[in-house]
Structure 1
Amino acid sequence: MVDYLNAALRRVPAWVLYILAPMPVLVIFYLGLTGALGIDPAKRIEHELGLWSLWLLIAGLAVTPLRRWVGLNLLKFRRAIGVITFFYLLAHLLTWLVLDVQFQNVWADIVKRWYITVGMAAFVLMLPLALTSNNWSLRWLGPGTWRKLHTLVYPIAILGALHFLLLVKGFQWEPILYAAVIAVLLLSRVRPERLRSFRLLRQA
């Protein structure tokens, strides 16, 4: 079954994702403009775009574990997923900046509110990844440096989960579930031989 799925995916070009990417954003803003998102559409739009950013982060993290443990090969789509993640994160940030706080007390909010501080840190770390997600940067940096730079996605995912945890009020399962999924995906990338090497190093 996985082989058939991989064969079908090989016929799908990665650029298709770039065409499909703006559609959920357009739908979300359309719902906000038509009053379908309640009495505070700006907050709902901001929340929905934040969720999409988190979903895409998780999708990007899942590429390697799916290939290693299931055999599903989505590597050709990983760069597109990363770029689209940045697009949604930027839309999430701009919605907060323009529609929510309307450029008022921006720096004070970033310093005062921990969830905004963490979210802004995730966005800043995402910038170099978005700027180097192209073949020219890969050649200029070299594959080794490029790969090391793009491991920033791991702290970005952790910060994204923490941003959601700090944002909600009271005990809610949804952000905890996302944090757990991200933790599992990150831990699944640790190879058993690395754990054995770490144990031997500690013993030594």
Structure 2
Amino acid sequence: MTRKLPTWPVYLLGALYPVWLLYQGLTGGLGVDPVKVMEHNLGEAGLQLLILGMVVTPLRKFTGITLLKFRRSIGLLAFFYIFLHLLVWLVLDVQILSQIWADILKRPYITIGMAGFVLMLPLAVTSNNWSVRRLGRRWNRLHKLTYGVALLGGLHFVMLVKGFQIEPLIYAAVILVLLALRWSPTRRSARA
């Protein structure tokens, strides 16, 4: 049934959230520090989409529900949200080029977040049919970087919060469970 559904509504719905956040920020709906709220919400939504993309394979394996057709659009939206998260931080929050570089070097959670973003760049650039055909099996190997990106994103969120907060730990735990499902002993023995 999902094969008959087009992917364009995923992109359309995904584009609405940042527009809604911007509208909320401009009209006072995001509180006293709208930049921080936008920055946080875009980053968290990007992490949620990364996790959703990782859920596609276990969902098919354990329930038979196939959403493979939508995994690329989910991944591109995750990149878009994380790019916007970074853009809000760069342009609206920090604004000073020398301070941006100093923060990347000085603050480990920013360093880890930037590393995750850099790993996403080749994934976003090669998320098209031409790259899939051109790269062949190497495309699959390249796109396994998604797991590293998700780990770095989860770690970035855990390190970002001050004090003990359960939400980032839940995200990290979900990512670890999904990675464990990907590399379970039965999967390795089946490949051998």
Matching of residue 55 in structure 1 with residue 39 in structure 2: no
Identify unmatched segments of 5+ residues in structure 1.
1-6, 198-204
| Counterpart Cα distance in 2 of 1:169 and 1:13 | 42
Unaligned runs of 5+ in 2: none
Aligned to 2:77: 84
Whether 1:156 and 2:146 are equivalent positions in the alignment is no
Aligned to 1:170: 163
Residues in 2 aligned to 1:131 and 1:184: alpha-carbon distance in whole angstroms: 28
Q: Quote the Cα distance in structure 2 between the aligned partners of 1:10 and 1:149.
A: 25
Of the structure 1 ranges 42-51 and 14-23, higher mean CA displacement relative to structure 2 is found in: 14-23
Aligned-residue RMSD, C-alpha: 1.5
Offset at residue 11 of structure 1 (A): 2.5
Summarize deviations over 1:8-53 as a string: whole Å, max 9, x none: x233101221111110101111111111111111000000001110
Q: Say if 2:178 is the partner of 1:185.
A: yes
Show the counterpart of 1:116.
110
1:133 aligns with: 127
Please give the secondary structure, in 1, of the residue aligned with 2:143. Answer: helix
Letter in 1 for 2:140: R
Once the two structures are superposed, residues 148-187 of structure 1 have per-residue CA deviations (whole angstroms, 9 ceiling, x without a partner) of 0000000000000000000000000000000011111111
Deviation of 1:108 after TM superposition, in Å, equals: 0.3
72-81 or 103-112, which deviates more: 103-112
Counterpart of 1:59 in structure 2: which amino acid?
A: L
> Alignment partner for residue 13 of structure 1, among 6, 9, 24?
6
**2:27 aligns with one of 22, 26, 34:** 34
Taking only the aligned residue pairs, the percentage that are identical comes to 58
Computing the radius of gyration from Cα coordinates, the structure with the larger value is: 1
Specify whether residues 103 and 22 from structure 1 end up closer, same or farther in structure 2 by C-alpha distance, changes over 3 A only: farther
Instruction: Output the CA distance in 1 between the equivalents of 2:117 and 2:107.
Output: 16
Give 2:138's aligned residue.
145
Structure-2 change in CA distance of 1:196 and 1:12 (3 Å): closer
Provide the C-alpha distance between the structure 1 equivalents of 2:151 and 2:110, rounded to a whole number of angstroms: 14
Amino acid at match of 1:30: Y
TM-score, length basis structure 2: 0.95
Q: Aligned pairs, how many?
A: 190
* Mean CA deviation greater in 21-30 or 187-196: 187-196
CA distance in 2, matches of 1:74, 1:23: 21
> Is 1:103–2:133 an aligned residue pair?
no
- SS of the aligned residue for 2:162 comes to coil
